[in-house]
């Protein structure tokens, strides 16, 4: 076996590590819930950046059903599960929230494909690399489930907009740092171009920056099962493939709307990534030059290698937020 083949196999073996395994919840439904009266939460504080984005996001908002304290010993003290329904279609979903010990800045950490809203706390390597970085800055932490493998679809973006408004109202949050990897990093960039006023900074590790080209790249590799699963999930979330539904894909392309990324943005990508090709990050980094954009390419890195870049990413964007 030559070195190139061996590297490809190693990269693919890393897929399940970063993307996560079957989604499962960290809540214990046997505990009594703390029911919290909450009116419908809409997007009063933020609106889509353009009419194009607005066409994909009708009537965003959520209805909070209950807030359940999470008391398991392996979870941080003060963590709660926010259960809600979407005003778009009545879909039930949830997010975990850990209010800050000081300050009003929150980090929004979205899970990878195949995982769920508790990935930050359940996956050991992510928890070790990311949780201390968030806590060092005294961030509140919001980890939404966000319709599972939704890749920041129009409905997922509308739900997140409602969640952020809820956190503003309930916890007095005034700034959000979007920081995640893989599908989560992709979602961060999409949301930041849709609602730039909601994003004070972005840390996107191994992201896809244009879902149309990424979808096509996945379909060109039919022998790789995980890439077909990802392409299937994207098409399902967006109501069809890009050739049938071009408008939402175009509206949700960070590459096509890179000029809206005026906040500090840190991107890291492994050059040997076999799940999301490094060309996705290179193209975005080359599309515009800005003092508030930092791109780190890891020459021998695979899909999960950028996990270790979260601390550097958080430190870089925080310095430029001040």
User: What structural domains does the chain harbor?
Assistant: 39-321 (3.40.50.1820)
Confidence check: pLDDT of 47 > 90: no
Confidence check: pLDDT of 9 > 50: no
Between CA 165 and CA 174 the distance in angstroms is 10
Rounded to 10 degrees, the C-alpha dihedral 265/271/273/276 comes to: 40
Confidence check: pLDDT of 152 > 80: yes
Nearest to 307 by CA among 258, 273, 280, 283: 273
Confidence check: pLDDT of 213 > 50: yes
Q: pLDDT at position 48, please?
A: 64
Q: For 35-39, 85-89, 288-292, which range has the lowest pLDDT when averaged over its residues?
A: 35-39
Share the mean pLDDT of the chain.
Answer: 87
Q: pLDDT at position 305, please?
A: 97
pTM passes above 0.75? yes
Q: For 12-21, 65-74, 178-187, which range has the lowest pLDDT when averaged over its residues?
A: 12-21
The mean pLDDT value for 19-30 works out to: 39
Q: pLDDT at position 287, please?
A: 85
The mean pLDDT value for 238-243 works out to: 98
């Amino acid at each position: 076996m030559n070195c190139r083949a061996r590297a490809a196999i190693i990269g693919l073996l890393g897929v399940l590590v970063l993307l996560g395994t079957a989604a499962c919840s960290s809540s214990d439904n046997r505990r009594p819930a703390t029911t919290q009266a909450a009116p419908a939460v809409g997007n009063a504080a933020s609106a889509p950046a353009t009419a194009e984005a607005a066409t994909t996001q009708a009537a965003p908002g959520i209805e909070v059903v209950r807030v359940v304290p999470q008391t398991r010993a392996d979870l941080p003290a003060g963590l709660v599960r926010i259960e809600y329904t979407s005003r778009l279609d009545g879909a039930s979903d949830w997010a975990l929230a850990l209010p800050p010990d000081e300050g009003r800045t929150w980090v929004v950490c979205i899970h990878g494909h195949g995982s769920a809203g508790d990935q930050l706390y359940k996956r050991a390597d992510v928890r070790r690399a990311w949780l201390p970085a968030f806590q060092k800055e005294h961030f509140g932490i919001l980890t939404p489930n966000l319709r599972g493998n939704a890749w920041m679809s129009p409905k997922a973006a509308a739900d997140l907009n409602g969640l952020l408004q809820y956190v503003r109202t309930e916890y007095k949050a005034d700034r959000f740092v979007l920081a995640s990897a893989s599908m989560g990093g992709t979602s961060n960039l999409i949301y930041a171009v849709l609602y730039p006023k909601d994003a004070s900074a972005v840390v996107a590790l191994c992201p896809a920056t244009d879902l149309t080209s990424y979808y096509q790249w996945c379909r060109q590799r039919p022998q790789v099962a995980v890439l077909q699963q990802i392409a299937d999930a994207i098409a399902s979330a967006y109501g069809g493939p890009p050739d049938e539904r071009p408008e939402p894909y175009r509206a949700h392309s960070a590459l096509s709307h890179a000029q809206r990324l005026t906040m500090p943005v840190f991107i890291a990508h492994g050059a040997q990534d076999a799940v999301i090709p490094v060309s996705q990050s290179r193209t975005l980094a080359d599309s515009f030059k800005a003092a508030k954009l930092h791109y780190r390419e890891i020459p021998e890195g695979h899909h999960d290698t950028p996990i270790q870049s979260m601390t550097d990413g958080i430190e870089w964007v925080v310095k430029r937020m001040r």
